[in-house]
Amino acid sequence: MWMELIDIFRGGDELQAAGDDLFEMLAIVRNMASKVRPHVFDHSISMDDRARVYELDIQVNKLQRRVRKRVVAHLSLNPTRVPYCLLLMTLVKDAERVGDYIKNVTEVAELGGGPVPEGELREELEQLIDIASELLTEVEGIIRAQDRERATELLQRGRAAGKRCDRLLVSLSHSTYSAGEVTSMVLLTRFYKRLGAHLVNILSSVVMPLHKVDFYDEAELEP
């Protein structure tokens, strides 16, 4: 379905513009993530950078609403393209949620989180954040190129990372961290798990039929 959708994007109508908006959303959330990443564990992001993250999140929200408007306009003239419009609506919602979770990372200190010291559990979370960052960095190129092999590889890495997040939460319940440190680690683990899950959803559109997008099942890959 994605190859057909890419062909439609070249048609010069509202659906093509909606596709461009999706790719712009992904570019913006990558920018947001790059501003947040250096400050994840010490909560030292500046007020200016935090304000910029919020501004970028608002841009993502506006783009999502614009895609919805474009899809409605397109369907009024091309009602036979409903499946492609449903796919776009699904993907922009996932992209919008990625932006929300990146914004949430900047709010951990306000929610009672404290700076997290070096240690084995922090190293595990750093690795999981790196995987989420890898998915975010590559997702646009993968869906543009329809790289099914790389999409499948990252889908598997992303799903495995989600399970590792669950195990990390259990380990944190037995840790000697202070209350503030545990709060930070638990919130960050949950935020990055969900962020990664939404990126996995987007990647699944490359290899799964429409009704299975968000539910990656290797046994049901599209031919």
What is the number of alpha carbons within 13 Å of residue 178 lying toward its C-beta?
8
Dist. CA 6–CA 208, nearest whole Å:
16
Query: By the 8 A CB rule, do 99 and 60 touch?
Result: yes
- Give tens-digit pLDDT for 7-34: 555 555 677 788 899 999 999 999 999 9
Phi-psi sector, 221: left (phi>0), alpha (psi -120 to 50), beta: beta
Triad 112, 114, 120: Cα angle to 5°: 130
Dist. CA 29–CA 187, nearest whole Å:
19
- Give tens-digit pLDDT for 175-184: 999 999 999 9
Whole-prediction pTM = 0.90
Domain ranges of the chain: 2-220
The greatest distance separating any two alpha carbons of the chain, rounded to the nearest whole angstrom, comes to 61
CB proximity list for 158: less than 8 A, separation 6 or greater: 131, 132, 135, 196, 197, 199, 200, 203
CATH of segment(s) 2-220:
1.20.58.220
Grade residue 212 by pLDDT with cuts at 50, 70 and 90: low
Residue 223 has a pLDDT of 47
DSSP 72-127: HHHHHH-GGGHHHHHHHHHHHHHHHHHHHHHHHHTTTGGGT-----SSHHHHHHHH
DSSP state of 174: T
